[in-house]
Copies of this chain bind each other. A is one copy, B any other.
C-alpha cells in the first residue's frame, strides 16, 4: 500500500524548489541557495532534508561522506497537488474561480494572459 501523495510544507517546498532547479545537491548547496532569501541555520536545513528523506520526498546518496540529495517527487505533479488543495480549501472545488483570482492578481501580466490564451486554445482542441 503506497502512502498518500505528500503535501510538502512550506520549508519542504522551499527545499524542493532548490532541488528541482539545481538537480542533485548537497545540504550545503541548498543551504547556500536558501540563504539568499532567508537567514536560516545550516543544521536546520540538514534536519529538514533528513526528515524529507524519511518521508520519501527526497532520496539521498550516502556513499560519500557528503550526502547528495535529489527530489523524489516531480515538480509538475507537486504543483498540481498544491493547486488542487487550494481549489478545494478556498474555492469550493472550482478551478475556474481560482484562475479568476489569479488573473486579477497583480502578478498576471499581459504576456501571461496571452500565454494562457494560447494554452486555452490548445486545451480546447485537445479536449473538444
Mark A residues whose CB is within 8 Å of B. Answer: 10, 13-14, 17, 76, 78-80, 82-84, 86-87, 89-105, 107-108, 110, 112-113, 115-117, 119-120, 123-124, 127-128
Chain B nearest CB from A82 CB (Å) reads 5
Residues from chain B with a CB closer than 8 A to the CB of A97 are 79
Q: Is the interface of A mostly helix, strand, loop or mixed?
A: helix
Of B79, B110, B120, which is within 8 A of A117 by CB? Answer: B120
Q: How many copies does the complex hold?
A: 2
Chain B nearest CB from A25 CB (Å) reads 17
Given contacts A86-B86, A89-B13, A93-B107, contact A76 B101 (CB under 8 A): yes
Instruction: Determine whether the beta carbon of B116 is less than 8 Å from that of A120.
Output: yes
Given contacts A86-B83, A87-B102, contact A107 B95 (CB under 8 A): yes
